Amino acid sequence: DQQVKQNSPSLSVQEGRISILNCDYTNSMFDYFLWYKKYPAEGPTFLISISSIKDKNEDGRFTVFLNKSAKHLSLHIVPSQPGDSAVYFCAARPGAGSYQLTFGKGTKLSVIP
């Protein structure tokens, strides 16, 4: 039973346009969410996070939106750059200090120059 779902295995976007990556979760105990980016042969790198008390968090070109009632979050990248091409993982945990992250399967983003 997947508690964190990324239903799009891949996404292609033109350079300069917006990339929107989606994530759904089923566990209502989750209240802290993170996005990680992963290049081939490297470990995941933290990108941005959001607590359930917020509905939006922004860091430069990256914005994460959280809709708690829909149990849905999304990552917006604007403008998209070729260097953003990577696999993006959504992760969640029950509380900011909880030890265990539950990851989705990832979405492979390709930004086309």
Partner 1 sequence: DTGVSQDPRHKITKRGQNVTFRCDPISEHNRLYWYRQTLGQGPEFLTYFQNEAQLEKSRLLSDRFSAERPKGSFSTLEIQRTEQGDSAMYLCASSLVGATNEKLFFGSGTQLSVL
Applying CB under 8 A, among 43, 60, 83, 113 the residue interacting with partner 1 is 43
Q: Which of 20, 52, 72, 103 binds partner 1 (CB under 8 A)?
A: 103
> In the set 1, 53, 60, 97, which binds partner 1 (CB under 8 A)?
97
Contact call for residue 73 and partner 1 (CB under 8 A): no
Which residue among 21, 44, 66, 84 contacts partner 1 (CB under 8 A)? 44
Phi and psi at 83, nearest 5°, equal -65, -10
Q: What is the number of other CB atoms lying within 10 angstroms of the CB of residue 57?
A: 16
User: Is residue 60 near partner 1 by the rule CB under 8 A?
Assistant: no
Using CB under 8 A as the binding rule, whether residue 105 contacts partner 1 is answered as: yes
Q: Name the residue nearer to partner 1 (CB basis): 3 or 79.
A: 3
Amino acid at 97: G
Tell me how far apart the alpha carbons of residues 20 and 46 are, in angstroms, rounded to a whole number: 17
| Dihedral Cα 18, 30, 3, 28, nearest 10 deg | -110
